[in-house]
Amino acid sequence: MSRKILIAIFIVVFADMLGMSFMSPLLPMFSEDMGANFLWLGIISSSLGVSRFVMLPIFGRLSDRTGKKKVFLCSALFLYIFLALAFTLVDHYYHIVAIRFVRGIGSAIVVPLSRAYIGELSPKGQEGRYMGYFNIAFFTGMGAGPLISGYVYDHYGFETVFYTMSCIWSFAFLVALLFVPESKKVVHVVRQKTVSMMDLIKVRMMLAILMVRTSMGALTAVLNNYIPIYADQRLSSTGFELGYLVAIGTIVMGLLQMGTGWLADKYSKVKLIMLGQISSTAFYFIIPLTDSVNELFVLRLIMSVGGALTLPAIAAMTTQIGKQYGMASAHSLFNMGMTFGYSISPVVLGALVDNGLGIDWVFHISGIVGFIGVAVFYLMVRSDKSDDRQHAFA
């Protein structure tokens, strides 16, 4: 039974991320065609994150209380089908903001609740491995989307991209409807206590995760939004080249998850997070030095290895906390940090670029933010006196 649920969630997450990432390399170009400047590009990117950030704790708490994860999951996927079609009606960048804002509400459901399902399935001591399974689906789907969409755009245009997104989400909806059970049928987890979201944030280990996830979100937004702009303006890349620049890192991260998930169960999660974050963040300072798509491609490959080390370890830490305080609530907070960083950085950096800051400084500032985030994480974890610290360093 557990294996069937795991496969169903794997397919849902893969299809969902495939559909979502379709627009990743093309959104800046599509938005510019609708008249958006750099500030509005940031607002468009962040609009999804704003609604997602607000709704994450609400849906996380509701799903833990009611156990109705399937209802929420299927409702969000059904909504996505029509949001993809809504892009065909867009004639102003304001409309893109509205669509992505509504899309963010659904996004507050699908990924954290899917993580919660996997967390509930994970046996004690194998949290890293099971989060690795989730991340394989997450990142291979996210990586394949830009590759396919770049090809579709180059040959058929934007409208076909939107129809394809709708078909992919229709498939994800059907799989969730037919094969994903209600959460109460997943029996590996019995929570020891129930706490509010504010009390959960006060758990020092959870707060440390929230801090580093915020910096990770800020850096991810730069990769998804400014590498395509840099490649388009500086390197005159094609749509397909923009697609594989965005895709290659996520695909490699996905393929490495099985091995790095095993590492997260065997070695210190904190040390893996530190190693992964420091190694990947350092390369942000090198991005402006590249002068060809191939150089940027190789750099993106190297950076993905650091991310592959970090994610199973930090997701496993979150799962351990979730087994005590509520799985969906913990993973909603896990995603809130990412969402907050992802939402803020495009707006701030977009305003700076519009006011004369060169695009090179976008990557320099991102590197600084990444190093600050990992330093704060380490200091908070090191000062934690609870039993959570022992699990994290084990």
Q: How confident is the model at residue 287 (pLDDT cuts 50, 70, 90)?
A: very high
| Percentage of the chain exceeding pLDDT 90 | 17
Mean pLDDT of the chain: 83
Cβ partners under 8 Å of residue 363, min gap 6: 222, 226, 284, 285, 287, 288
pLDDT of residue 385: 65
pLDDT of residue 173: 92
pLDDT at 192: 46
Between 4 and 218, whose confidence is greater?
A: 218
Which tens digits make up the pLDDT trace of 341-393?
Answer: 888 888 888 888 878 788 889 999 999 999 999 999 999 988 766 655 555 54
Q: Please give the DSSP secondary-structure letter assigned to residue 285.
A: G
Encode pLDDT of 85-101 as tens digits: 999 998 888 898 899 89
The one-letter code for the residue type at 154 is D
Angle in degrees, 0-180, between the axes of helices 2-20 and 69-86, rounded to the nearest 10: 20
Reported as a pLDDT band with limits 50, 70 and 90, residue 275 is very high
Task: Report how far residue 347's alpha carbon sits from residue 344's, in angstroms, rounded to the nearest whole number.
Answer: 6
Which residue did the predictor score with more confidence, 214 or 200?
214
First to last CA, the chain: 30
Domains detected in the chain = 2-180+191-393 (1.20.1250.20)
Provide the pLDDT for residue 393.
47
Tokens, residue 316: 């496993």
DSSP structure string for 228-279: HHHHHHHH---HHHHHHHHHHHHHHHHHHHHHHHHHHHHS-HHHHHHHHHHH
